[in-house]
Chains A and B, each alone.
Chain A
Amino acid sequence: MISQAAVARLRDMLGTKNVLSEPEDLLTLGYDSTPELSGQPDVAVYPPDLDGILTAIEIARDEGLPIVPRGSGTGLSGGSVPVSGGMVLCLNRMNRILEIDEANLTATVEPGVITLDLFNAVAEKGLFYPPDPGSQKISTLGGNVMENAGGLRGLKYGVTRDYVMALQCVLPDGSVVNTGGKSVKDVAGYAFKDLLVGSEGTLGIISEITVSLIPPPQTRKTLLAYFDTMPKAGEAVARIIAAKIIPSTLEIMDQATIGCVEEFAGIGLPLDMAALLLIEVDGHPAVVEEEAAAVHKVLQQVGAAEIKLAGNADEAASLAAARRTALSALARKSPTTLLEDATVPRSMLAETFTEIERLTDKYRLTVGTFGHAGDGNIHPTVLCDERDRDQMQRAHAFYDELYEKVLAWGGTVSGEHGIGVAKRDYLARQIGPAGIAVMRRIKDSFDPRRMLNPGKVIAEK
């Protein structure tokens, strides 16, 4: 619990509107997008700047309060859920784009900047920020960095970590560390910056981010391919990669997902197809032509039921936008959507889909599957009702068994959503006791008093 005196002190230092403690505020800052998870903070603080963060940390330290950093709360593993109460540090009012440096091709932002806002701001200057999480309209850069968010262009362009050049980070003892810089090459010392990216708020609070930018692709082409089975679509993905073509986007949706997305977006997707691949190739016009033709050929060879070319940029954009709604659209069908973030080597995609189908039957569940097939990053989503205990148990058993296979195939338990609370047990399974022990030592060296986002990534003992 936080003392009234501490709340008053916070209000004094940061202003009334930046410190919230009414039950209605605390209740609505206790969740993110992860089903079945919520907590309740003791206080919520919106620091306006770096000094605000320092003040908040100091008072949290005095009060012995855990600190849970939060952006827009779009996380899918519970990274920003205050499971043990404490202070939620809402960074979404720190939302200024501080600099777009055209000479060095970098942008420096505060952590609360919305991903799409940065994308648009740099696009105006003829530049390209490639990471594009499905929630790009809502998620913050700070959240992206903390969860090392992926997205629809991960296949060709990589994920958030690949673009973070420098971070300003506040440690729980109040020291401010600057790591990285605008130099393209930098091998000085430990890769501290890379460790912070994806640390899910357990090592430090990010107060400033510098990302690298690249020139945008000159042109792009979008293809849609339909298949009569999911494994066949998986086979097509593996064959495209094996043909040494790296599309910028290579997304998959199963029939259930297509149906829900179509019901919401109404863009004319067929409802009778078992699987859809959304493929985009981009780059130099000549290369795009050649690669699109090569992809087309592979799709034909694998036996696509239908192959379509998006008519124009608007049509391509509406397809990508529709794909981004997949998870939320699936929520039309059931009150709870329990999704996973399984990622496998791409040669194992067809087997993964076969396994998902087998387990769906075995556990008598309804599952919608979609994801970034080109990365091998799949989101099988159980459509369930959290009030039905038996069904929820079967859903968790489904994932337990699926992950056993995924790990045996050399896959990972999280491609882009992070571990948070929801996937801690799976992480322990993936990296083993020695792996957890070294993570614990790293955590303790940054945060010896274990104030920062306790219970995330690795369980508190």
Chain B
Amino acid sequence: MTDIDKSNFAPGDAPTYESVLQCMRCGFCLPTCPTFALTGRERSSPRGRVALARAVHDGKLTFSEALKEESFFCLDCRACTTACPSGVKAGEVMEVCRSQAQQFFPGGHLSQKFRSFVLERMLPDPDALEKSMLPNRLYQRLGIQWLVRHSHILKLGPDWMEKAEGMMPKIGEPLRQQLPEITPARGEKRGRVAFFLGCVMSLMYGEVSRQTVRVLAYQGFDVLTPKATKCCGAPHLAEGDRETSRQLALHNLELFLKEDVDAIVTDCAGCGASLKEYEELLEGLVPHEKLEKFRAKIRDVQEFLAEAGLRSEGLKPVNTSVTYHEPCHLCHAQGVSKQPRDLIKAIPGVEFREMNESSWCCGSAATWGLKFTEESQQVLDRKLNNIKATDADHLVTANPGCHLQLAWGLKQAGIKQDVLHLMELLGQATPE
């Protein structure tokens, strides 16, 4: 019924008219949006962004530089999706708009080259990605990092560079190279799962995923970790490269559907959300039943263990207090909010302390925290205050992006809490 001719969107990926028409502008999203909280500017709110996308459809607005800015200024935290009674997905509308932005404003030759190198060559190739970490490892091992940090040389460069350097955790051997293809279940076997190992988890938080696999095995599951796993495609969606994301999704879908497993489990909230959304991303490219079958198997590890029921016999007490930061891509994108809390409370010895605004974004959001360092700091500060107020020993979370940002933020602010992935905490309770 719409007059498609009026639309100012470029051909290819564009938000559907239905997805923007569904917004009835009630504003329930406004108090949940970090960028609206920062600016108080309607166009930087979910309602405003959807209105802009609709205006492009209606031919009232061209896809302007300002709309490009808005599409990338959105954190894609999906808090508005949780809040929207009408079912509007403003974050996803902006995610699609990012690919429009690439069509209308592709950037200069050099930045295009760099972009296509990173998105199309590096990220899709796990071997290349692992090799790219080598300089970082040398940088840390040879003591250059120590020198750089103590010389304050980074203060001379852009803010994002100093922040990125400061965030970098200790880089070890990529976990993908070390994990066996199959880690057998311990005790009475309860099932067989495939583990989707994320890139950041393998490269920067290898120890976390090692614990995840160990916990799953202790809980009675054979854990299969396919070496051929590729990036889930989330970074590509975030940068507006939906085409490469689809290729990666197709690869992973085929790879994991081959395996006879009860579930496909991940400990990265970002990967989990991305995998669960393959259904929409690949609609029309792959038979629907196949997409549904795949979707039905994806579980965040917290969600999976809560469903399976935590086997608590033999767990060692961990006498400590923790608070929990909800990763956006876990609570808002996947609706997994109660399960992590239940798991934490089930660990013997742990005292759980709820923080205020636990599901408010930490300001990391893929590369957002580096692109908008000042705004990111403001979002982070709000979070840090809430964390600090709990006075818990540890901050527990379940996503590498949040982990990096929060660990860095706490250190900068001189707050004593340290950051643990929930599986690390459970790992401490799990006997060797």
Chain A interface (Cβ < 8 Å from any Cβ of B) = 20, 22-25, 27-29, 31-33, 35, 46, 72-74, 92-93, 114, 135, 137-138, 260-261, 264-265, 325, 327-329, 331-332, 335-337, 385, 387-388
Contacts and interface: CB of A to CB of B under 8 A. Distances in A.
5 closest Cβ contacts across the A-B interface?
A328-B85, A331-B86, A28-B48, A325-B85, A329-B85
A186 B23 CA distance: 45
A27 B45 CA distance: 13
Contacts of A331: 22-24, 26, 85-87
Contacts of B139: none
A33 B25 contact: yes
Contact of B51 (A31, A92, A138, A329): A31
Contact of B70 (A24, A114, A327): A24
Interface stretch (B59-67, B90-98, B237-245, B278-286): B59-67
B24 A24 contact: no
Interface in B32-55: 40-43, 45, 47-48, 51-52, 55
B61 A33 contact: no
A327 B26 contact: yes
A93 B38 CA distance: 12
Contacts of A137: 28, 31
Contacts of B1: 385, 387-388
B61 A73 contact: no
Given A335-B22, A385-B1, A387-B2, A23 B64 contact: yes
B28 A24 contact: no
Given A27-B60, A264-B85, A22 B24 contact: no
A72 B48 contact: no
Given A20-B41, A22-B66, A74-B26, A28 B86 contact: no
B40 A24 contact: no
A3 B25 CA distance: 30
A135 B42 contact: no
A355 B43 CA distance: 41
Contacts of B313: none
Contacts of B348: none
B31 A138 contact: yes
B255 interface: no
Given A24-B52, A46-B40, A33 B31 contact: no
B85 A73 contact: no
Interface in B68-98: 70, 84-87
A336 B21 CA distance: 8
B84 A335 contact: no
A114 B26 contact: no
Contacts of B48: 28
22 contacts: A23-B66, A27-B51, A27-B52, A27-B55, A27-B60, A29-B42, A32-B25, A33-B26, A33-B27, A72-B27, A74-B26, A74-B27, A135-B26, A138-B27, A260-B85, A261-B85, A264-B85, A328-B86, A331-B24, A331-B85, A337-B24, A387-B1
B24 A73 contact: no
A432 to B, nearest CB: 33
Nearest to A112: B40
A113 to B, nearest CB: 13
B18 interface: yes
Contacts of A387: 1-2
Interface residues of B, number: 33
B30 interface: yes
Nearest to B64: A24
A35 B86 CA distance: 14
Given A28-B42, A335-B18, A138 B28 contact: yes
A27 B25 contact: no
Contacts of B55: 27
B318 to A, nearest CB: 29
Nearest to B29: A138
A177 B320 CA distance: 60
Nearest to A114: B31
B86 A332 contact: yes
A340 B353 CA distance: 45
Contacts of A327: 24, 26
Given A24-B52, A24-B64, A332-B87, A31 B25 contact: yes
A331 B18 CA distance: 12
Contacts of B64: 23-24
Nearest to B42: A28
B42 A73 contact: yes
Given A24-B61, A24-B64, A28-B43, 20 more contacts: A22-B66, A23-B61, A23-B64, A25-B41, A25-B42, A27-B52, A27-B61, A28-B48, A31-B25, A32-B25, A33-B24, A46-B40, A135-B26, A137-B28, A138-B26, A138-B30, A264-B87, A331-B85, A331-B86, A332-B85
Contact of B27 (A35, A135, A388): A135
A20 to B, nearest CB: 7
Nearest to A27: B55
Contacts of B60: 27
Contacts of B66: 22-24
B26 A25 contact: no
Contact of A24 (B2, B22, B23, B67): B67
B68 to A, nearest CB: 11
B327 to A, nearest CB: 21
A234 B45 CA distance: 39
Interface in B157-211: none
Nearest to B23: A331
A422 B431 CA distance: 67
Contacts of B28: 135, 137-138, 325, 328
Contacts of A325: 28, 85
Contact of A73 (B27, B41, B52): B27
A328 B26 contact: yes
A385 B84 CA distance: 19
A336 B22 CA distance: 7
Given A24-B66, A31-B51, A387-B2, A72 B86 contact: no
Contacts of B30: 72, 138
Nearest to A116: B31
B43 A24 contact: yes
A455 to B, nearest CB: 19
Contacts of B67: 24
Nearest to A22: B66
A335 B85 contact: no
A351 to B, nearest CB: 29
Contacts of A260: 85
